[in-house]
Amino acid sequence: MQPRLLSFFSDIERSIEADMPSSPEGTWQNNRTVNYTLGLARLELGLKPQGGKIEAKGTILLQGYQLADESPCLKAALSWAGVEGAVTRSIFSKADTNWTSEARKIAAEWLGGAPSELDRPSLTEEAAEALSPVPEAVSA
């Protein structure tokens, strides 16, 4: 079974905080947006220095969909502030899929920083536009 998009983001956030609980740069301040109708979600990751404004560090976009055989799949696009392009990963639902472990892998990859070679483009323009603020979008 595929996880809920916000639950998957919660697992990613917990993993990031566990691997990097405090930073000289500040504390983690994240913003989540989800469009359940389209199966899209965005997690904006940032650090807030003491008494300062949130500094964007990157974004993780999720797209939940069904494959032709009707099995659920989750696609994650990882991007970093100041870096063009993204890294995309697909997570296929299998009987032994551990979604918490998959979220930890995504978090670790994002914390590892941008690789020298990135996928271009990250998600289709339609998917990116669908995540822009619209009335049916829910922000958490």
Residue 80 lies in a domain: yes
Mean pLDDT of 69-87: 90
Beta carbons of 64 and 116 less than 8 angstroms apart: no
Q: What's the total number of domains in the chain?
A: 1
List, edge to edge, every strand of the sheet that includes 72-80.
87-92, 72-80, 55-66, 40-48, 27-35, 138-139
Residue 92 lies in a domain: yes
pLDDT at 84 exceeding the cut of 60: yes
How far is C-alpha 94 from the chain's CA centre? 21
Q: What is the pTM of this model?
A: 0.76
E strand segments, the chain: 27-35, 40-48, 55-66, 72-80, 87-92, 138-139
Alpha-carbon span 75 to 88, nearest angstrom: 7
Alpha-carbon span 23 to 47, nearest angstrom: 9
Residue 124 lies in a domain: yes
Residue 135 lies in a domain: no
| Pairing relationship of beta strands 138-139 and 72-80 according to DSSP bridges | unpaired
Task: Give me the domain span that covers residue 61.
Answer: 5-130
Q: What is the pLDDT of residue 97?
A: 86
pLDDT at 85 exceeding the cut of 60: yes
pLDDT digit string, tens, across residues 36-77: 888 899 999 988 888 788 888 999 999 988 889 888 889 999
pLDDT at 91 exceeding the cut of 60: yes
